[in-house]
Amino acid sequence: MTEVDFPILGTEPLPVEFANTDYGGGAERIDFLRSAEQIDRWFALVHPPAIEGEMGRAGERVRQLRDGVRHLLSAAADRAAPDPRRLDIVNEFARAAPTFAQLAWTSDLAPAARRFDIATGAPALLGRIATCSIELLTGPQSDALRRCSGPGCSLLFVKNHARRRWCHPSCGHRDRQARYYRRHHHPREVHP
């Protein structure tokens, strides 16, 4: 098995990290979940309780949900209407999420909800991701979904402060380098 550096930002909600496993577009598209081994490795990194081997065996379903989630998050980031078929796909997966919420009081006396899964396996985990996607798209972070403005980057992120334009500082650095290069190595023509 070849080692793959997944585009895991580590700061984004699970549905965004999941959607970002489909990177780029056209001939430059990279599917980071193209094999069973890669799927198992990704789930082990981001969701350690995932059952080893089971997620990879559900590869086609994993990619189907990922593509649906990516489409819906992209539509929200672009402020566009989604394809109703993709909406149906995510809703279908969400129906398999056997979860329940429990109310807890935190140390600062604030109520908080904790979710528990009452089943295991690929269908339950994919259903949980679909449910998290629905919660993200209907919650306050939905308005903060953005597409990275770095050159050639297609990753999505949740804008958590006013000046954020990139998925990761390295994308911002590349963008600043490209602008510097254009200014200093391609001088503007001077017209007499």
Instruction: Please check whether residue 192 lies inside any domain of the structure.
Output: no
pLDDT tens for each residue of 54-98: 899 999 999 999 999 999 999 999 999 999 999 999 999 998 887
Number of domains in the chain: 1
Token digits for 138?
């209907």
Instruction: Please check whether residue 59 lies inside any domain of the structure.
Output: yes
Token digits for 30?
């990279």
pTM summary value: 0.79
DSSP run (H or E) holding 15: helix 14-19
CB-facing half-sphere around the CA of 164: CA atoms within 13 A: 15
Instruction: Please check whether residue 67 lies inside any domain of the structure.
Output: yes
pLDDT tens for each residue of 3-32: 556 666 678 999 999 999 998 877 788 899
18 φ, ψ (degrees, to nearest 5): -65, -50
Instruction: Please check whether residue 74 lies inside any domain of the structure.
Output: yes
Instruction: Please check whether residue 33 lies inside any domain of the structure.
Output: yes
pLDDT tens for each residue of 100-136: 777 777 777 777 777 777 777 888 889 989 999 999 9
Instruction: Please check whether residue 6 lies inside any domain of the structure.
Output: no
Tell me which residue range forms the domain holding 23: 14-147
Instruction: Please check whether residue 116 lies inside any domain of the structure.
Output: yes
Instruction: Please check whether residue 68 lies inside any domain of the structure.
Output: yes
- The mean per-residue pLDDT over the stretch 148-174 comes to 83
User: CATH number for the domain including 50?
Assistant: 1.10.3300.10
